[in-house]
Chain A
Amino acid sequence: MERKTFIGLSALSVLGLYLPLEECKPSLTPEQDTLSTPTMLSKLFSAARIRNLGKQYLNQHPAESSRNLLEKELREGISGNGDQISRDLSSKIRQDFQGGRTVLLEGWILSQTESRQCAYYDLSHPA
């Protein structure tokens, strides 16, 4: 149920629609919303869990506790916009795994990029 909610929220936000619950949160551009949506993890986990993974990442990497910095890191190597961002992120995640750039969060073996996406999600959607 939680996972569906997360996917639902993400889909709505891609369309530029926000539920009242989201109104008090910083509004995200569609690109930023894509950056804050780890595609695979959003299929596996609830929004709350993604937020927790993000918090754990930030605990491990306090120097990255800034939306701007995370956005910069996530955008690195990504030139396109719209759907291309999503495809580029997937490719970046795959390259992370190939290159051994993984992070252990709650025991999950995650790519550094998707971990940053979790952190970006957490900072962009404070509880």
Chain B
Amino acid sequence: MHIDARRLENHSLIEGDLCIVGAGAAGISIALDWINTPFKVILLEGGGFELDPAMQDLYAGKSIGQKYYSLEAVRLHYFGGTTGHWAGYCSTYDDIDFEKRDWVPRSGWPITKEDLEPYYPKAQQILELGPYEYDLAYWQKKYPELVPLPLDNQVIWNKIWQFSPPTRFNTRYRSAIVNAKNIHLYTYADATNIEADDTVRTIRQITVKNLAGKEHTVKAKYFILACCALQNARLLLASNQQAPKGLGNDHDLVGRHFMEHLEVKSGLLQLPVKSSLRLYMLNFMGLRMRAELSTTAEIQKKYQILNGTVSLSPELVASREKPMIELFPKKAAQSVEMASSFVKELRAESKSKANEKQYTSFELFTRMEQSPNPNSRVTLDTVKDALGMPRIILDWQLTEQEKRSIRQLYLILGQQIGVSGSGRVQLMEWLRKGDDYSWPDFLGGGWHHMGTTRMGENPQTGVVDQNCRVFGIDNLFMGGSSCFSTAGSANPTLTLTALVLRLSDFLKHKFLK
């Protein structure tokens, strides 16, 4: 069922069993999971079904730290959320991503990968990925032509990725949601305030507003905030009527530990003879999978480094591509257009079998986790948006550990390539000096926002518990990558979808009790 909140009588009361704030990958995945249940689910979306510059402006904010993308364009404020311009790269998190690592401050989730395992296959289906298989042996058996570089797998392993079409939740799931009798989708219902009771133990209601000047109240037994890591933190911090520091923020953790994946051109692999290295090439048609190179958990421990991967692209092709941080537009409509052409190009390349051509030079590109850093954070500005919500200030801060980890990753890879006799590796200029912790201008992120309402063992270490419930508040849950305790090396969408399906399951059990 779909209701346009602009057309409701002003000050309407909306009531349901479960209220999900945000209709992006996280919110829609939960809503899909509740279709045909006996419960009334309210799904609130700030925007409509089409991109609207006025809605995007509500996301605008200041970036005062490490150079970052336009906050107005990097997330999409409409039904389907940021899946409107994602590229669809997916992989599971590794066991080590969940573990406490004594060399990574504040690492360790209160859950393990095993806790997410039951939910990954379903997340895989929602994101229209292939079989839930992330083991190289499976793919090699199926496609013997996928030959890995002859590296010591005790040191470097092949991490498998799969590619979503990419699923645009807006078009893919719109009719399923709109036609579901028990899912009440409200568009143009932008959550601007969460009101708790006087003890701040229970959420009483949420206020939604729109640019048509309407304001409504939403009541439910349980509330899930699933409106992206930046917005989740913003909403908690701005909801300060009962809790002056913001909801769930007694220990000053909301908005802190903002994490991204560092994405950056880093080096070159030179081979003595031409090779297609097909296993490692982007392939959006046919196989829709590839491998990236990563250090094993043992090696990460030995060298005290973060988790990261190296992807390979023919240098001839990659050298023509500008870094995303330089290309990314200021406006959302252009970013959607750019994403669409990017996917078209990848499909055309795959069709033309360009990825089967042989080369001797391959560009090496890093995707590295960021260590949880309390100084990397989202705060509220004094400037407000058109709905009266304080805008955000993003202070993306990196540490020496990320730089050291990237450099060490390539030194290890270079050694292993040398041992194997398959070629040689060259570091880019910015990585050559071991005591240089500066970053190049072309360092970007993957538009992956994580950690702002991190999961912890207790309220001193996290905003939410192992079930994504805000510590101290019985009926408020956070959905999505804002709950991630560490960033892992893989893109977050598959894991955040698995995590919200786990949350969904947890809440179903609560309702059925």
B432 pairs with A40, CB closer than 8 A: no
The answer for the CA separation of A90 and B421 in the assembled complex, in Å, is: 9
A102 pairs with B414, CB closer than 8 A: yes
B432 pairs with A107, CB closer than 8 A: yes
Whole-angstrom distance between the Cβ of A95 and the nearest chain B Cβ: 9
The answer for the CA separation of A109 and B420 in the assembled complex, in Å, is: 13
Q: Does A89 contact B (CB under 8 A)?
A: no
The answer for the CA separation of A102 and B415 in the assembled complex, in Å, is: 8
Measured CB to CB, the nearest residue on chain B to A108 is B426
Residue among B411, B416, B419, B427 with most chain A CB within 10 A: B419
Count the A-B residue pairs with Cβ separation under 8 angstroms: how many?
A: 55
Q: Does B423 contact A (CB under 8 A)?
A: yes
Chain A 81-111: CB-based contact to B (< 8 A → 1; otherwise 0) = 0000000001001101110101010111111
Q: Does A43 contact B (CB under 8 A)?
A: yes
Chain B 406-420: CB-based contact to A (< 8 A → 1; otherwise 0) = 000011001111110
The answer for the CA separation of A116 and B25 in the assembled complex, in Å, is: 55
Known A41-B424, A106-B426, A110-B424: A100·B415 in contact at CB below 8 Å: yes
Q: Tell me which of A40, A102, A108, A109 contacts B421 (CB under 8 A).
A: A40
Q: Tell me which of B272, B419, B423, B428 contacts A107 (CB under 8 A).
A: B428
The answer for the CA separation of A125 and B22 in the assembled complex, in Å, is: 69
In the bound complex, residues from chain A placing their C-beta under 8 Å from that of B424 are 40-41, 44, 108-110
B residues 260-278 touching A (CB-CB < 8 Å)? 267, 270, 272-273
Q: Does B253 contact A (CB under 8 A)?
A: no
B427 pairs with A109, CB closer than 8 A: yes
In the bound complex, residues from chain B placing their C-beta under 8 Å from that of A44 are 270, 272, 423-424
Residue among B414, B416, B418, B429 with most chain A CB within 10 A: B418
Measured CB to CB, the nearest residue on chain A to B415 is A97
Measured CB to CB, the nearest residue on chain A to B431 is A107
Whole-angstrom distance between the Cβ of B331 and the nearest chain A Cβ: 37
Closest 9 CB pairs of A and B: A109-B414, A97-B418, A43-B272, A107-B427, A97-B419, A107-B426, A108-B426, A97-B415, A44-B270
Interface residues of B (CB under 8 A from A): 267, 270, 272-273, 410-411, 414-419, 421, 423-429, 431-432
